[in-house]
Amino acid sequence: MRTVTVELGDRRYPIHIAAGLLASAADHLAPLARGRTMAIVTDENVRPHADTLQAVLAAAGVRSEAIVLPPGEKTKSWEHLAGLCDRLLDLGVERGDHVVALGGGVIGDLVGFACAILKRGCHFVQIPTTLLAQVDSSVGGKTAINTRAGKNLIGAFHQPSLVLIDPSLLDTLPLREVRAGYAEVVKYGLIDDPAFFEWCEANGAALLAGDPAARDHAIAHAVAAKARIVAADEHETNGTRALLNLGHTFGHALEAEAGFSQKLIHGEGVAAGCSLAFAFSAAQGIGSGQDAGRVAAHFRSVGLPDGLAAAGIAASGATLVDHMRHDKKMAAGTLPFLLARGIGRTYLDKSVDLADVAAFLDAQPR
């Protein structure tokens, strides 16, 4: 088992990573249960993993109660938040209790937020079941729901007490979901780790084909990077954590244009968005066309979209920039962009002119 610690002073917490970890989860959860009933929140898609967890807890003498929600982004809503809080209150969850979030990013974000506000804050444990959640959303304490006005606009920073990552849970995840999570893995190389991007170029295909050694290495490496960044800038105030948004501003505009639907799922938006961020940097003379080409080629080679055409987006630059204007990172009329001087040399640029972005997008092949 590998363990990475998120160093946040008295709120520091471990992330344990091991294939098969779900089967021994009781070793980590039983001490937190304090003889009380543990609530496990999950969705219908991963119900079998919840059944496994309940069985291993029962074998260790821990009572548990599963709350099973519908899968999908629509579950990150006011209605489901209210329903979940009521269920947790009915179960008598106390501040000292640990609620388990077993699922992908939707479950992690919803349960994390419910635990941030339940009795002004109770503990929670993340057991992520998608690659995207394992390498990104389960670590770092960003929790949120979506509202009429947009995604993740209501939420809180609330760190989990423990994260248990079992890469073997990905064996049953659809390939499209694994690929989408892989985009976030590549992102860590693009941000500040060129050697890891090279590793991705050499091993990405094997990882997606299910090679456990490649998968476990990538997860551990990505989690260590995320833990470092979160420890340096927990609340995204000094620019360090903002680097994790690489590809997200372009990607978010594409996802919005696709109606946040199955047409373009988040990780696919991130792959296209990273490709566009590098291409825009090259077009502005900040980075090289060669690096932008390498980034696009890698995403293409593993079946991820590398731009507008591959993402199936035909909208004009003006329309896409209009989506960007609703980004929650807008500050005093300016939208900060993650641009790149090269692979592994990403920085936050607050002087990007949205008219240049629109013209660049208009020039992209459709």
Contacts of 333 (CB under 8 A, 6+ apart): none
Rule CB under 6 A: is residue 128 a binding residue for ligand GLY? Answer: no
Using the 8-state DSSP alphabet, how is residue 44 labeled?
Answer: G
Interaction mask 208-227, ligand GLY, x per CB under 6 A:
--------------------
Among 103, 104, 105, 140, binds ligand GLY (CB under 6 A): 140
Contacts of 38 (CB under 8 A, 6+ apart): 29, 32, 57, 62, 63, 64, 65, 97, 98, 99, 100
Nearer to ligand GLY, 50 or 277 (CB): 277
C-alpha to C-alpha distance for 26 and 34, rounded to whole angstroms: 12
Q: Which stretch binds ligand GLY (CB under 6 A): 86-94, 134-142, 322-330, 352-360?
A: 134-142
Q: Of 174, 130, 146, 159, whose CA–CA distance to 79 is shortest?
A: 146
Tokens 């209009």 map to which residue? 322
C-alpha to C-alpha distance for 277 and 268, rounded to whole angstroms: 14
C-alpha to C-alpha distance for 163 and 230, rounded to whole angstroms: 14
Q: Residue 43 forms beta bridges with which residues?
A: 69
Q: Which stretch binds ligand GLY (CB under 6 A): 62-70, 120-128, 136-144, 296-304?
A: 136-144
Residue type, 294: R
Rule CB under 6 A: is residue 158 a binding residue for ligand GLY? Answer: no
Q: Flag whether 100 is marked binding.
A: no
Q: How far is the CB of 124 from ligand GLY (least distance, A)?
A: 16
Q: Flag whether 130 is marked binding.
A: yes
Kind of pairing, strands 142-147 and 150-157?
Answer: antiparallel
Among 43, 97, 109, 136, binds ligand GLY (CB under 6 A): 136
Catalytically active residues are: 120, 142, 184, 226, 236, 241, 245, 248, 252, 266
Q: Flag whether 129 is marked binding.
A: yes
C-alpha to C-alpha distance for 240 and 319, rounded to whole angstroms: 29
Q: How far is the CB of 136 from ligand GLY (least distance, A)?
A: 5
Interaction mask 87-126, ligand GLY, x per CB under 6 A:
----------------------------------------
C-alpha to C-alpha distance for 175 and 314, rounded to whole angstroms: 26
Nearer to ligand GLY, 211 or 233 (CB): 233
Q: Of residues 239-258, which lie at the interface with ligand GLY (CB under 6 A)?
A: 241, 244
Rule CB under 6 A: is residue 187 a binding residue for ligand GLY? Answer: no
Q: Binding site for Zn(2+): which residues?
A: 184, 248, 266
Residues making contact with ligand GLY (CB under 6 A) = 136, 140, 142, 241, 244
